Amino acid sequence: MQAFLNDPMAMILLTGALVATSGALLGTFLVLQRQSMLSDAISHSIVFGIVVVWLLTHAQSGPLQIAGAALTGVLTVFLTEMVARTRRVKRDAAIGLVFPALFAAGVLLLNLYARDIHIDSHTVLLGEIGFVWLDTMPLAGLEIPQAVVWMTVATLVNLGFVLACYKELKLASFDWQLAAALGLAPTLMFYLLLGLTSVTAVAAFDAVGAVLFIAFVIVPPATAYLLTDRLSLMLLLAVLVGVASTLCGYPLAVRLDVSIGGTMASMTGVFLVLAFVLSPRYGVLGHWLNRRVKYSG
Amino acid sequence: MLELLGNHTVQTVTLGAVLLGMVSGLLGSFAVLRQQSLLGDTLAHAALPGVCIGFLIAGTRHLGWIMAGALVTAVIAALFVQVVTRYSRIKMDAGLGAALSVSFAVGVVLLTYIQGHASASQGGLDSFLFGQAAATRPSDLWFMGGVTLAAMALVALMWKQLKLVTFDPLFAGSIGLRVGVLETLLTAMIALAVVVGLQMVGVVLMTAMVIAPPVAARQWVSRLEHMVFLAMLMGVISGVVGVLLSAGVAHLATGPVVVLVASALVALSLLLAPGRGVLWSWLKLWREQRSIGQRQMLVTLHKLAEHHEDPYYPVERSMLDSFYGVATSHILRRLQARGFVVPASHMRQEGPHWALTDAGHNEARQELERMDWNQAEV
């Protein structure tokens, strides 16, 4: 067991697969609710939360950081909704106003009070999955990489959330009004979903960086959306596409000697383009062939 | 703070900020009005691989190549979003997000490739990620100035067409304008603005530079030409104030300060702009609520007096409180100040009472007439 845990390649792939799984589970609902760009907003503005928690407690990771991130994520969404609700600003502009402001505030705080610590905005935005196996913690008599521990927890929590609230999430994604009328609390679900997205983003930023995490949240679910009409199948396919991207990305990155996280995230794009062209029902090629058959027949 | 302007670096950076504010305010106005605010975000992230490709082609940090590369990949990403959202069931938000994250990932891959392979130093490529205003060189200013002038000339020449495509693309198409071409042109120009701003404020904060000045400007005016002009002014103000603030205080990065100044301008405009300001509508709502409370009170007292056939019938305040379900003393005191009610004494052991004056009866009768009129209209 310890030999497995000491193997860099196994740990990198395991971390990547966990990031992909946890991202796809939440991303499926974000994509269906047309809120994908909120994951982008959150993953930038958690820089603010990370810096504030660090300034207050000097904790660089752990439960306090995760709670801080969840709060910042919810704050981002709340502020965005507040600005949009004044009806003076369209919703997309509201998103684009709130998160850069929080990001800028975070970078400035970092600039002023924490010039020489490890959490520079670089690490937050880019991360490097190649080093996850170096940073271990003892657990149950084994030395386990911290990223693996935190990502496992995040994945289990997300999976638990999706399983426990499947009905609520499903209805909130397809018929918000009906969900509200039936008392299934779609707004609460919305904030829980985005709170968990922030938590997962902060757990993932060590591994792949906040921006690359967005790729795992948005792209595999979008790919799955092109392949199926069933929600349960879409979740499964999104997870599979995400994990496949990490598995394909790793050897490619090693061969080219480039960023592993970056290559894994780039691979999600390849799968999206493949689905866009080749998907049996919603692909461009299928449409084109159908039309030819229709007109010639 | 003004003596800072004597400093050569500060001069260069300030001039750069002025140009950036102008070009992003100008082109951002169209993006915000066409509800494509987050396109700027996607374009800014998608510029990163282009920056790297430009660097790989030129072999050094040559601004022209880097900007050309950035422009090309940004436009490719925008076209990708357009194609994917038009020809599949993927919606705008997922299209933007996918283009943003995947192209950024490709950029990260190329960045690490350059770090590991390129023989020349990759000095200054990081500055495109996070922005490094102090690295602006006087030679960069010529380039930025050229882009700004070109954008202004283009907008001036195509003013009517751009205006129509922004507000009514269907009509624009029906009178024979090439809507697709114009939209692509606008997108390309926004990409150009984003690319110009990258090295000053960086990828993430460039998003705000395209959105914040136009949104702030929109609150004050409602004609496109005024909005574009004001957005440019707001962009210049945030740029100059941000640069001077960050130059005056040690260790402050310029980009974030510029963005925070722009965000503060938005907040002020949203709250205070005449007509649209949120503060004014709150004030109006509060005044209306107050006046409705007073009018209701007058009518209640009037009807009670009529019912008891005593024009000066004293009504106990606690009864009014329980009738309205809220404390009414502040309403009564305001009516007293207007001369419509007077405190009245009834029996010694009871609480305060109030009675209508003659003026109060007149006002209540007018109010009732208005209510009749309103009902008649319905």
Nearest to B116 among A112, A115, A258 (CB): A258
| Per-residue confidence (pLDDT) for residue B278, from 0 to 100 | 85
A87 close contact with B: CB closer than 8 A = no
Give pLDDT tens digits for A30-71: 999 999 999 999 988 888 888 888 888 877 667 787 888 889
Interface residue of B101, B234, B257 to substitute, partner A, most A CBs within 10 Å: B101
Contact B104 A212 (CB under 8 A): yes
Of the given ranges (B16-25, B157-166, B189-198), which has the lowest mean pLDDT? B189-198
Contact B97 A39 (CB under 8 A): yes
Handedness of CA B58, B59, B64, B67 (dihedral sign): positive
A265 close contact with B: CB closer than 8 A = yes
Q: B246 to chain A: nearest residue by CA? A: A108
- Hey, which bits of chain A come out as E strands? 136-139, 142-145
For residue A278, the surrounding DSSP H or E stretch is: helix A260-278
DSSP A181-206: HTT--HHHHHHHHHHHHHHHHHHHHT
The CA radius of gyration of chain B, in Å to the nearest whole number, is 31
Residue B247 pLDDT more than 60? yes
CA distance A52 to B308: 66
Give pLDDT tens digits for A117-145: 555 555 555 566 766 776 777 777 777 88
For residue A143, the surrounding DSSP H or E stretch is: strand A142-145
B48 and B128 Cβ atoms separated by less than 8 Å: yes
Contacts of A104 in chain B (CB under 8 A): 205, 208, 255-257, 259-260, 263
Nearest to A88 among B40, B130, B276 (CB): B276
B215 and B33 Cβ atoms separated by less than 8 Å: no
A277 close contact with B: CB closer than 8 A = no
Closest among B375, B359, B23 to B206, alpha carbons compared:
B23
| B residues 26-65 closer than 8 Å to A (CB) | 32, 35-38, 40-41, 45
First-to-last C-alpha distance (Å) of chain A: 61
Tokens of B36: 């494509």
Cβ neighbors of B2 (< 8 A, separation 6 or more) are none
- If you average pLDDT over residues B290-303, what whole number do you get? 85
| Per-residue confidence (pLDDT) for residue A124, from 0 to 100 | 55
CA atoms within 13 A on the CB side of B88: 32
Range of the domain at A264: 2-296
CA distance B331 to B292: 10
| Per-residue confidence (pLDDT) for residue B236, from 0 to 100 | 95
SS3 at position B194? helix
Tell me how many degrees the CA angle B94-A215-A207 measures, rounded to the nearest 5.
155
Residue B376: pLDDT band with limits 50, 70, 90: low
Cβ neighbors of B268 (< 8 A, separation 6 or more) are B216
Give pLDDT tens digits for B92-143: 999 999 999 999 999 989 988 887 775 545 555 666 666 777 777 787 788 8
Residue B378 pLDDT more than 50? no
Q: Return the number of CB contacts < 8 Å for A and B.
A: 207
Residue B375 pLDDT more than 70? no
Nearest to A265 among B105, B204, B260 (CB): B105
Residue A182 pLDDT more than 70? yes
A210 close contact with B: CB closer than 8 A = no
Tell me how many degrees the CA angle A47-A48-A49 measures, rounded to the nearest 5.
95
Q: State which CATH number among 1.10.540.10, 1.10.10.10, 3.40.30.10, 3.20.20.70 fits the domain covering B280-377.
A: 1.10.10.10
Contacts of A27 in chain B (CB under 8 A): none
Nearest to B101 among A104, A214, A253 (CB): A214
- With pLDDT > 90 as the criterion, what percentage of chain A qualifies? 49
Closest among B19, B17, B20, B82 to B46, alpha carbons compared:
B82
Handedness of CA B361, B365, B367, B371 (dihedral sign): positive
Burial of B280 (0-12, 13-18, 19+ CB in 10 A): middle
A218 close contact with B: CB closer than 8 A = yes
Contacts of B46 in chain A (CB under 8 A): none
Q: B219 to chain A: nearest residue by CA? A: A88
Contact B105 A215 (CB under 8 A): yes
SS3 at position B370? helix
For residue B148, the surrounding DSSP H or E stretch is: helix B138-157
Contact B104 A86 (CB under 8 A): no
A71 and A45 Cβ atoms separated by less than 8 Å: no
Measured in whole angstroms, the distance separating CA A121 from the mean position of its chain's CA atoms is 18
Measured in whole angstroms, the distance separating CA B73 from the mean position of its chain's CA atoms is 27
Give pLDDT tens digits for B142-153: 888 888 999 999
Decide whether B2-276 matches B280-377 in CATH topology: no
Higher pLDDT, A86 or B216: B216
Closest among B341, B358, B362, B357 to B370, alpha carbons compared:
B362
Cβ neighbors of B313 (< 8 A, separation 6 or more) are B304, B305, B355
Contact A104 B208 (CB under 8 A): yes
* DSSP β-bridge partners for residue B316: B353
- Minimal C-alpha gap between A65 and chain B (Å): 22
SS3 at position B254? helix
Give pLDDT tens digits for A232-283: 999 999 999 999 999 999 999 999 888 888 899 999 999 999 999 998 888 8
Residue A228: pLDDT band with limits 50, 70, 90: very high
Task: Supply the mean pLDDT for chain A.
Answer: 87
State residue A142 phi and psi, 5-degree precision: -120, 150
Contacts of B246 in chain A (CB under 8 A): none
- If you average pLDDT over residues B344-356, what whole number do you get? 77
Contact B98 A103 (CB under 8 A): no
| Per-residue confidence (pLDDT) for residue A117, from 0 to 100 | 54
First-to-last C-alpha distance (Å) of chain B: 63
Nearest to B207 among A83, A100, A259 (CB): A100
Nearest to A101 among B32, B251, B263 (CB): B263
Q: How many domains does chain A have?
A: 1
- Hey, which bits of B97-236 come out as E strands? none
Residue A229 pLDDT more than 80? yes
| Per-residue confidence (pLDDT) for residue B263, from 0 to 100 | 94
Cβ neighbors of A139 (< 8 A, separation 6 or more) are A149
State residue A172 phi and psi, 5-degree precision: -65, -30
Q: What amino acid is encoded at A275 in this protein?
A: A
CA distance B299 to B307: 12
Residue B4: pLDDT band with limits 50, 70, 90: low
SS3 string, B3-67, reads: HHHHCHHHHHHHHHHHHHHHHHHHHHHHHHHCCCHHHHHHHHHHHHHHHHHHHHHHCCCCHHHHH
Closest among B48, B68, B71 to B57, alpha carbons compared:
B68
A173 close contact with B: CB closer than 8 A = no
- The enclosing domain of A216 has a CATH number of 1.10.3470.10
Tell me how many degrees the CA angle B38-B40-B42 measures, rounded to the nearest 5.
75
- Minimal C-alpha gap between A96 and chain B (Å): 6
Contacts of B215 in chain A (CB under 8 A): 89, 93, 97
A235 and A166 Cβ atoms separated by less than 8 Å: no
Q: B279 to chain A: nearest residue by CA? A: A86
- Minimal C-alpha gap between A14 and chain B (Å): 20
- If you average pLDDT over residues B11-30, what whole number do you get? 91
Sequence spans of domains, chain B: 2-276, 280-377
CA distance A73 to B62: 38
B87 close contact with A: CB closer than 8 A = yes
- Minimal C-alpha gap between A236 and chain B (Å): 18
The CA radius of gyration of chain A, in Å to the nearest whole number, is 20
Contact A100 B208 (CB under 8 A): yes
Tokens of B259: 């963005």
Q: Give CA separation, B309 vs B143, B304, B347, B352, in Å.
A: 86, 8, 19, 21
Measured in whole angstroms, the distance separating CA B172 from the mean position of its chain's CA atoms is 27
Handedness of CA B253, B259, B261, B263 (dihedral sign): negative
Nearest to B113 among A92, A112, A256 (CB): A256
Contact B84 A276 (CB under 8 A): yes
Contact B88 A104 (CB under 8 A): no
CA distance A241 to A267: 9
Nearest to B32 among A93, A105, A209 (CB): A93
| Per-residue confidence (pLDDT) for residue B102, from 0 to 100 | 95
Residue A208 pLDDT more than 90? no
CA distance B311 to B332: 17
ipTM comes to 0.90
Q: How many CB atoms lie within 10 A of CB B270?
A: 21
Residue B336 pLDDT more than 90? no
- Residue burial B145-166, b: 16+ Cβ < 10 Å; e: rest: bebbeebbebbeeeeebbbbbb
Higher pLDDT, B3 or B358: B358
A111 close contact with B: CB closer than 8 A = yes
- If you average pLDDT over residues A148-157, what whole number do you get? 91
SS3 at position A215? helix
Residue B321 pLDDT more than 80? yes
DSSP A102-138: HHHHHHHHHHHH-TTSS--HHHHHT--GGGGGGSEEE
- CATH class entry, domain B2-276: mainly alpha
* DSSP β-bridge partners for residue B342: B355
B353 close contact with A: CB closer than 8 A = no
Tokens of B129: 């990620």
Contacts of B112 in chain A (CB under 8 A): 257-259, 262
| Per-residue confidence (pLDDT) for residue B184, from 0 to 100 | 86
Nearest to B219 among A88, A103, A125 (CB): A88
